[in-house]
Amino acid sequence: MKPFLGKNFKSIAVVLTMAILFFSCKDNYKRAGQEKIPLVYPIGIAEDFTAKYTEATQKVETEDSVGTRVVAILKSPLLKDYTNLEFPYQTLPNSLLIDVFNENGGRFRTVQIDVDMIQQVGLVITGSCHAVIRCD
The string of DSSP letters for 16-81 reads HHHHHHHHH-------TTTSSPPP---SEEEEEEEEEEEEESS---TT----EEEEEEEEEEEEEE
The total number of structural domains in the chain stands at 1
- Establish if 16 belongs to a structural domain: no
- Establish if 111 belongs to a structural domain: yes
Q: Are 101 and 92 in contact (CB under 8 A)?
A: no
pLDDT above 60 (res 26): yes
- Establish if 84 belongs to a structural domain: yes
- Establish if 73 belongs to a structural domain: yes
Cα distance between residue 41 and residue 44, in whole Å: 9
How many Cα atoms are found within 13 Å in the side-chain-facing hemisphere of 89?
A: 14
- Establish if 19 belongs to a structural domain: no
The whole-chain average pLDDT of the chain stands at 75
**Average pLDDT rounded to a whole number, residues 52-70:** 81
How many Cα atoms are found within 13 Å in the side-chain-facing hemisphere of 25?
A: 6
Distances (CA, A) of 100 to 2, 70, 110, 113: 103, 9, 6, 13
**According to the model, what pLDDT value does residue 135 have?**
52
Q: Which domain holds residue 74?
A: 44-135
**According to the model, what pLDDT value does residue 1 have?**
47
**Average pLDDT rounded to a whole number, residues 32-49:** 80
